[in-house]
Chain A
Amino acid sequence: MLPFLTLLAGALTPAPADGAVVVQATAVHTADATIENGRILIRDGKIEAVGAEVGAGVRTIEVEGHLTAGIVALGDRTSLAGEARDETRQVMDTADLVHGFNAESKDWAPFLEAGVTAVLLTPEPGALVGGRTAVVKPGGSVMHPRAHLDICFSSAAFRDGVPPSSYPGALAMLAEHMALGAGGFGLVKEGLPVHLAASSRAEGLRAIAFAQRHGLKGALSGVRRAGDLAPELVEAGLAVILPPLGLGADPRHAASAVALAKAGVPMGFSLDAAKASPASLRFTAAQCIRAGMEPAAAWSALTHQAGAISGTSAGTLAAGSDADLVLWSGHPLDLTSRVERVWIDGALVHGGDDQ
């Protein structure tokens, strides 16, 4: 899909001699500002400069709408098919999920349609250590082949007839692996972040305590009411990945997200094991805002904060980042706005044919 689109875009927009182009939009949203008639200078797939005046003399594509960084989905298994879980061992600390990534899958199209330009691939629960996560671009390249070691603190890690069968047993087994420090555990000791999958608050507390005990950095993922754990999360310096909020979601879940934002816990949203559509991310942010979250906090949870949790610059519209951009018909947090165009690495991959 992507090579084809790249070729197409290439055909439609003959690259200037130095490979640079400026995209100018009615409004450009960076992490901390909105620039009216802002300009983004793109060279070789990277953002070179952002501002009202940048790139004078460079070929300019003028578009109407709001231009933002792409949305980051933290936790998904699209294109992995049956490759997201390996049952040969309960501890797969040396397995890299990126080997299951299929850029050609047609399932990436809805991501682009929803303005998602980076996805954290996470293993399917079912093992104590499911492997190492990866950050990929929908239908495109690998941003980060080894973002976290995934450790499962939820009861989903217990498979009938295979140790461990219990929370105390799981913690003992993990402590043993940490003490040995081989494979992925060795990497974690050297600073590879952890992706701590959990579901209940009690599991979340155990995961946080484990991270603190071993001085680990990373994110707690999957605890919908993680807001109740905010003090512990702040103390441990961990981020949080929250499952998306659907229609009719328990109001305590949105309140929990608001509490986390108020406590200053870095946060992003997952697609909850690919159960939710990519479009649900923006809907989730809207639910959080309705529950009292600052719009800026909700937007950063969708974009650059989520990117930071993934260990990449995904979701950041700033000089030096990949030119992964989304053009919206209106304000991106207005649910009536729609995605008009998506660029990945400076190439138009969705919408628009007038470049």
Chain B
Amino acid sequence: MIFTTLLAAAAPALASGGNTGVSLMVHAEYLHVGPGEIVRNALVQVDEGQIVAVLPGRSAPDGALSVHSAHAGMIDASARTTQAPSAVEQSKEIITQLSVQDAIDPFDPAWDRLARTGVTTALICPPDLNVIGGLSVVVKTAGAPRLEGRILEGKPILRGAIGDQPSGGNSPAFGRPRDYFARRPTTRMGVEWEWRKAFFDAGQAERFPEADFEGADVLRACLKGDVRVMIQAWTTADIRTACYIDEEMQREGYGDLDLVIDAGAEAWREPAFLQRTGTPVVLPPFPTSGRSGERSFMPWNTARVLKDKGIEVALSCHGETGPNARLGDQAGYAMRGGLTFDEALAAVTTTPAALLGVDQRVGKVAAGMDADLVLWNGTPFAATSAIVGVVAGGEVVLQPR
């Protein structure tokens, strides 16, 4: 923080050197402006939170942050910071009209931890205790002190889950039901039924307005493709179910869901479903034991297998900031499993940016984009390299040393 102040103080001096309106300069020997695009000895000029210019073939001027490599701030499309049960309304198993935004804590130290590990943009979803938990929100992990100043307007994303999480903890009613837990699904098939019923009812209500219900408009927007549907589905059975629902809605003439699978650990098992429905996948962190959530199995080459089938892949660390589990580490693991460097970079920058509909602002290093940069002391994602600096919204959140 003190360093940031010093840098700010240095800004007028920089400006007098001819770079008017530049508050921060970053010099990288290798600047990965986007997947497959390297600029050597690049100087990135930043002002008012945005990248002003990317200049090739420069030497590092005084006052610039100078590092070996840099790329755009990373984007975690499943950051999972707001996971307390109080973040999702459980009194109904299908909640579409409420947003997790009302449950986010801007003072959560998790934001700073994420920013310092290079994750500068994150999708925050309601926890998967409901079948459909509500709307998600894309936020910057650093910058404005209040949430309102950190929200990115992307494509709206409705979040839900298929699997055993939405039914976990519910119990069938014996005798007179005392609370809503007695009504909620207790099995996978119950969860699947809730999904199909929600979309079916919303579609029917369009034909029969008297059958309309609260939140049906959001479901209909999903059927029209205006709202993206992100479903947590770890196992291949659950991924299959999600794709079947998408296909069924099309077949029945209700619409075409814009589906994304989150935590698709077993997406590699039956990629044909994802190919057929054009569904991208957000992968959970690579498990060291092979076993991921809900007893799914996720090998190191999962991302490679999906890419080979033409399926878009984004990587996620589920908001983990501990050593060896960060998003930068995940990119390295994906490369160990066969992804090329550029594919790995895309999986943590441009692909999630496009998935969330915020690629006009984040995901690449270019003039006019948000000044989010990850600075490395060596080749990014390599086991021998480390993130030594992070710039988020033009602010140095981790000072290179």
Contacts and interface: CB of A to CB of B under 8 A. Distances in A.
B90 A166 contact: yes
Given A171-B102, A202-B104, A166 B89 contact: yes
A166 B106 contact: no
Contacts of A335: none
Interface in A155-180: 155, 158, 160-169, 171-172
Contact of A169 (B91, B101, B105, B106): B91
Interface in A280-312: none
B85 interface: yes
A194 B101 CA distance: 24
Contacts of A172: 89, 97-98
Contact of A228 (B102, B107, B181): B107
A45 B149 CA distance: 54
Given A200-B107, A201-B107, A205-B146, A165 B102 contact: no
- List 9 A-B pairs, minimum CB-CB distance, nearest first: A161-B179, A163-B91, A169-B89, A202-B105, A168-B98, A168-B102, A167-B103, A165-B90, A166-B89
A206 interface: yes
Interface residues of B, number: 29
Given A160-B179, A161-B181, A205-B146, A166 B88 contact: yes
Contacts of B98: 166, 168-169, 172
A228 B180 CA distance: 37
Most chain A beta carbons < 10 A, residue from B88, B91, B178? B91
Contact of B87 (A162, A166, A228): A166
9 contacts: A161-B180, A161-B181, A162-B91, A163-B180, A167-B103, A168-B95, A168-B102, A202-B105, A202-B107
A158 B84 CA distance: 12
Nearest to A171: B102
B180 A166 contact: no
Contacts of A167: 86-87, 102-103
A55 B107 CA distance: 56
B328 interface: no
Contacts, number: 69
Given A168-B134, A169-B98, A200 B89 contact: no
B89 A168 contact: yes
A158 B134 CA distance: 18
A206 B102 contact: yes
Dominant secondary structure at the A interface = helix
Given A163-B92, A206-B102, 7 more contacts: A161-B181, A164-B91, A166-B98, A200-B107, A201-B107, A202-B107, A202-B108
Contacts of A171: 102
Interface residues of A, number: 20
B236 interface: no
B86 A165 contact: yes
A166 B178 contact: no
B387 to A, nearest CB: 28
Contact of A168 (B84, B100, B108, B146): B100
B66 interface: no
Nearest to A162: B179
A164 B180 contact: no
Taking each of B89, B91, B107, which has the highest tally of chain A beta carbons within 10 Å of its own beta carbon? B89
A165 B91 contact: yes
A205 B179 contact: no
A200 B102 contact: no
Contact of B105 (A160, A163, A200): A200
Contacts of A169: 89, 91, 95, 98
Nearest to A202: B105
A87 to B, nearest CB: 13
Interface in B55-96: 84-92, 95
A162 B183 CA distance: 12
A166 B146 CA distance: 21
Contacts of B102: 167-168, 171, 206
Contacts of A206: 102
Nearest to B146: A205
A130 to B, nearest CB: 18
Interface string A133-167: 00000000000000000000001001011111111
Name the residue among A160, A169, A171 with the largest chain B CB count within 10 angstroms.
A169
Nearest to B134: A168
Interface in B180-201: 180-181
Contacts of A158: 86
A165 B87 CA distance: 8
Interface in B260-279: none
B89 A165 contact: yes
Nearest to A161: B179
A161 B178 contact: yes
B350 interface: no
Contact of A166 (B86, B104, B105): B86
A206 B84 CA distance: 17
B267 to A, nearest CB: 30
A202 B103 CA distance: 8
A200 B109 CA distance: 13
Nearest to B84: A155
A169 B91 CA distance: 9
A206 B102 CA distance: 8
Interface in A211-226: none
